[in-house]
Amino acid sequence: MRKLLFIFLFYAIPSHAQPVTPAFSTGTMSSTSNTTTSISETVVSTDYFGNSYEYSVTGTGITTDGAVAPNTTEFNTLINGQTYTYTGLDLSKDNKPVFTLADPTSGAAFQYSETYRGGGGVSNITTITRQIESESVITSHSVFSQ
């Protein structure tokens, strides 16, 4: 009996395949892709007047204590939350040169002129903030038939 069962295991039974036929005649497929882009930018433009300082002293019938120009110093200015640094002259009383008449008792004519223009001042700050929104829609539509 065992031998008989063993023989049936190796016995080939024919199988028949049936053809597969699609059950549709036409069809469609659609696809849509949406893309949204958002860009936010801020541009700050700062305009300066002058990039250095000017100091001049002219005169006749006057003398000085030795120094002709004050020492330089740095100035920090805060504008709209932004710090700006400039180099200028220290015009404090103890740092400024002392000019006096050469002969105060003579009654002679004298002339004295002092001019100072500080450098690096901010004349204008322009801030431009803009928002750019962009949307892209791609639609694909396919039709097929048998």
Q: What is the mean pLDDT of the chain?
A: 80
Q: Is residue 20 part of a domain?
A: no
Q: Is residue 37 part of a domain?
A: no
Q: Is residue 12 part of a domain?
A: no
Tens of pLDDT, residues 15-43: 677 777 767 678 888 999 999 999 999 99
Instruction: Give the pLDDT score at 97.
Output: 81
Q: Is residue 102 part of a domain?
A: yes
Q: Is residue 42 part of a domain?
A: no
Instruction: Give the pLDDT score at 120.
Output: 63
Confidence check: pLDDT of 11 > 70: no
**Both tokens of residue 5?**
């069962």
Q: Is residue 51 part of a domain?
A: yes
Q: How many domains, the chain?
A: 1
Domain coverage including residue 101: 47-139
Q: Is residue 124 part of a domain?
A: yes
Instruction: Tell me the DSSP string of 39-88.
Output: EEEEEEEEEEE-SS-EEEEEEESEEESS-SSPPEEEEEEEETTEEEEEEE
